[in-house]
Structure 1
Amino acid sequence: MGTDILIYLGGLALLDMLSPTIMGVTLFLVLTDNKNLTSRLLTYLFTVVLLYFSLGIIMMLGLNFIIEALSTIFQNKIVSWVIFIIGVILFTASFFIPTNKKSNIPKPKTQSLFSIIIIGVTTFIVEAGMALPYFAAIGLLTTIDIPFYQRISTIAVYNIIMVLPALLIFLGYKVFGKLINPTLVKLRNKIASSSSSALSWIICIVGVILIFYTIDYL
């Protein structure tokens, strides 16, 4: 895997670290200060990672099949043009994302682990449709000639990076306790009020990455 691909994938993974839903649920669980924080938060993050990882595998298999099927009909330049156009559309659309100050972060209704799993599934449903960096990363992985096990391991690492901020918040709370609560409250309010802005930036940067990645192949 070339250095340029690793840079693109790393940049996309960093964008997915900005997920307002994962961060919002993590902050909610931490700030509720219940006795089962460790098991609840790790269950939530494991559920999200497992669902995203499964989606990544399914998408890679599907995209590989589609690309192989189309390769006998179209030249690879057609695929590059399609990705380039998608990048232009995303870049343009990023300037028209409406501002929404209402928080859409899901919250568990009970203290049970089942409720946490449901929140993890809900996060996946809410975020998966807008996980443009993840989709772009999978698209890039399908265009390079590497063994399938390397693609799987790359997707696994990508998902771990995606939830890394949540793990850092958890570790920070475990180390410093309630001393960082005011900071966490401010961060939660910031995320709740600026999720639309974050989405706009993510769409814009994904569009730029797709444009620059394909421009040499047009």
Structure 2
Amino acid sequence: MSTEILLLIGGLALLDTLSPATLGVTVYILLTDKEKLTKRLLVYLLTVAGFYFAVGVSLMLGLVFLFEIISGVFQNRIVSWIVFIIGTILLIASFYVPTKKNSDLPSPKSKSILSIVALGFTTSLIEVGTAFPYFAAIGIMTTSNLSWMEWSSILAGYNVIMVMPSLLLFLFYLLFGRRMQKPLKKLRVKIANNTGSALSWIMCIVGIILIFNSLDYL
């Protein structure tokens, strides 16, 4: 496992922290849940991270299997061209993402743990379709001939980084208490008003990464 691959995937993980839904729900929970806050927030974040990890493992196993079959028929150059085209499409499409104002972020329907788990799955389902950095990282790992121990460890670390902003917000909330109320409210409004902008930037950066990552093999 090369340092270059780790840095590249680490950068994609940092980029994935810009996803607004998970952070927006975290802010909502911090603002509204006064009882069992720690338990509910950790259950929510574990649900999101667990969902993404399961999706990542499923994709890795499936993509590795398909890649082994395809590589016997086609040259890696074909795969590189596919990655290049996907990157180009993402780069171009990023300029046409509409800006959403006052978007409604998911929120729990009740205070039960089951409701929080359901919210975690809902958030994950909403975001997974636009999790371009995650899919790019999986594609890079698939073509890097990593062992299952290596890619599973990277996937776990990726998901920890992905929920790190939410954990840091929770830490600040524990440290500063009520003084965090006003900043959290401003942050929630900002997240709701800039979901389209975040998606646009993510698509643009991932597109560029995929393009440059495929150039050497075209």
Q: TM-score range by the shorter chain?
A: over 0.9
Q: 1 CA distance for matches of 2:185 and 2:155?
A: 32
Q: 2 CA distance for matches of 1:214 and 1:102?
A: 38
Q: 2 CA distance for matches of 1:147 and 1:33?
A: 42
Shift of 1:145: 2.2
Residue pairs, 1:114-193, within 5 angstroms: 114-193=114-193
Residue by residue, what CA displacement relative to the aligned partner does 1:79-126 show, whole Å, maximum 9, x if unpaired? 001001100110000000011113231100111000000100101110
Residue pairs, 1:196-215, within 5 angstroms: 196-215=196-215
Amino acid aligned to 1:56: G
- State the SS of the aligned residue for 2:104: coil
When normalised by structure 1's length, the TM-score is: 0.98
Alpha-carbon contact 2:136-2:206 (below 8 Å) kept: yes
For 2:103, the equivalent position in structure 1 comes to: 103
For 1:88, the equivalent position in structure 2 comes to: 88
When normalised by structure 2's length, the TM-score is: 0.98
Shift of 1:48: 0.6
Shift of 1:217: 1.2
Aligned length: 218
Shift of 1:33: 4.0
Q: 1 CA distance for matches of 2:33 and 2:46?
A: 20
Amino-acid identity (%) = 55
Shift of 1:144: 0.9
- Give the stretch that moved more between structures: 131-140 or 96-105: 96-105
Residue by residue, what CA displacement relative to the aligned partner does 1:135-178 show, whole Å, maximum 9, x if unpaired? 00011011112211110010000000000000000010001101
Shift of 1:75: 0.3
| Residue ranges of structure 1 left out of the alignment (5+ in a row) | none
For 1:52, the equivalent position in structure 2 comes to: 52
- Give the stretch that moved more between structures: 102-111 or 120-129: 102-111
Q: 2 CA distance for matches of 1:102 and 1:68?
A: 46
Alpha-carbon contact 2:102-2:189 (below 8 Å) kept: no
Runs of 4+ in 1 over 6 A off after TM superposition: none
Q: 1 CA distance for matches of 2:150 and 2:57?
A: 12
Amino acid aligned to 2:195: S
Residue pairs, 1:68-79, within 5 angstroms: 68-79=68-79
- State the SS of the aligned residue for 1:167: helix
- State the SS of the aligned residue for 1:134: helix
Amino acid aligned to 1:112: S
For 1:11, the equivalent position in structure 2 comes to: 11
Q: 2 CA distance for matches of 1:180 and 1:116?
A: 22
